[in-house]
Amino acid sequence: MVINRVTADGYKNLEGIDIELDPKMNIICGENAQGKTNLVEAVWLCSGCRSFRGTRDKDFIGFVKDAAKVGMDFTDSVRKQRIEFEVRRGSVKDKIVTLNGVKLPLLSKLFGCFRCVVFTPEDLNLIKGSPDNRRSFADLSIAQIKPSYVSALNKYNMILAQRNAALKSVGRDGSGAEFLDVWNEQLIKAGTYISVLRYAFCITLNNYTKPLYSSITNGIEDMDIYYQSTVFEKFDGRLNNTEELEDEYAEKLKASAENDLRAGFTTVGVHRDDIGAYINGLSVREFGSQGQARSAALAMKLAHAKILKAEQGEYPVMLLDDVLSELDEKRRRFILNNIEDMQVIITCCDEKSVTDMASGKIFRMEKGRTDIFDN
């Protein structure tokens, strides 16, 4: 997947951006707060995902602007495509989103059409951070491969919210607890489906992260990734036996009913799962050094891109926002070696930190505008 051209105007501080990208390496350099991440974010939104910075739609629009407009031409393995979106002040809900000129109701409908992987300094905390970071990582990766996963997740979350509300309304004497069963059945179905896909994904992820991590450490350290389900102890040989898994899920929910009632929320289920990373048999989250945790996160992010390539036949575009400056020379070199076959957009403050390692186009970002940088 290759982005040919990006335009952005009124998106946060971006003004009159119209750049043709290099099919391989693109470096956007500039001082802090000039708009580098805003540009990366605008590109990211074209993948149909929510902002990785948590920006809400109304805040897409520049402070003194009436509308945020973003456009992108990209080429996938089949054809050239065009994405455009516009958010207008006063009618934020009525975004204008088009794919090849055809109107779409929501930005999220772009999901699966243009694919990219973003890597920011926060992602370096993937391992040390809380489980929801790792769940989101797995969920996004799976959804990019299997779009039906998104509806299962949405369904699960919706039922979970209803079940939790029901748990809170059960009286001290247990009155009303019988209504929980109404939610259990659907929760079990969606939850089992999610568990099975996450389990399979973690096996694939492990197959990719293992050699990557080993190569970062020159073969000295060995990394393993496991899916840590709060519902199932074992999946081996049972992946196709949905009925057996669903029965087990039901038992688990039943066994935790008392706990759930006391807590006022659902204490077991896929919303509590985790992905465990181990180095030489020890949990990186608990015992790993900062450096090990960063290398493990790096291996997972690169694995994500490689899995997309294996599943879909083409690499996603890699967005490296400020991440290289956070890494030492060895890990920087490691990333650059592993993304050689992808189109990459790298942002940094000091282009010298990357130009001696990578060639390609360099853009300078200043106050939301870009110039091509003559080097």
Ligand X SMILES: Nc1ncnc2c1ncn2[C@@H]1O[C@H](COP(=O)(O)OP(=O)(O)O)[C@@H](O)[C@H]1O
287 token code pair? 């015992």
Q: Smaller CB distance to ligand X: residue 63 or 173?
A: 63
Site string for ligand X, 7-26 (x = CB under 6 A): -----xx-------------
Contact 138, 201 (CB under 8 A): yes
**Candidate ranges 54-62, 114-122, 281-289, 327-335; the one touching ligand X (CB under 6 A):** 54-62
Name the residue nearer to Mg ion (CB basis): 29 or 143: 29
**Nearer CB in complex with ligand X: 17/142:** 17
- Distance from C-alpha of 249 to C-alpha of 255, rounded to nearest angstrom: 10
**Binding piece for ligand X, criterion CB under 6 A, among 34-42, 108-116, 148-156, 235-243:** 34-42
Residue where the block lists tokens 């290759």: 2
Q: Which of 56, 63, 105, 171 binds ligand X (CB under 6 A)?
A: 63
Binding partner at 141 among Mg ion, ligand X, none, C-beta below 5 to 8 Å by kind: none
d(CA 259, CA 145): 36
Other CB atoms within 10 A of residue 167 CB: 22
Q: Which residue has the tokens 């106050």?
A: 367
Residue nearest to Mg ion (CB): 37
Closer residue to Mg ion (CB): 30 or 288:
30
The span of 35-43, 83-91, 150-158, 297-305 binding Mg ion (CB under 5 A) equals 35-43
Give the C-alpha distances (Å, rounded to integers) separating 248 from 162, 241, 270, 330, 344. Answer: 22, 11, 13, 46, 45
Could you say which of Mg ion, ligand X, none residue 237 binds, taking C-beta under 5 to 8 angstroms by partner kind?
Answer: none
Coil, strand, or helix at residue 156?
helix
Based on the shown chain and the rule CB under 5 A, indicate whether residue 37 belongs to the binding site for Mg ion.
yes
CB 321 within 8 A of CB 118: yes
| Alpha-carbon span 18 to 5, nearest angstrom | 7
Applying CB under 5 A, the residues found at the interface with Mg ion are 36-37
Applying CB under 6 A, the residues found at the interface with ligand X are 12-13, 30, 32-38, 59, 61-63, 365
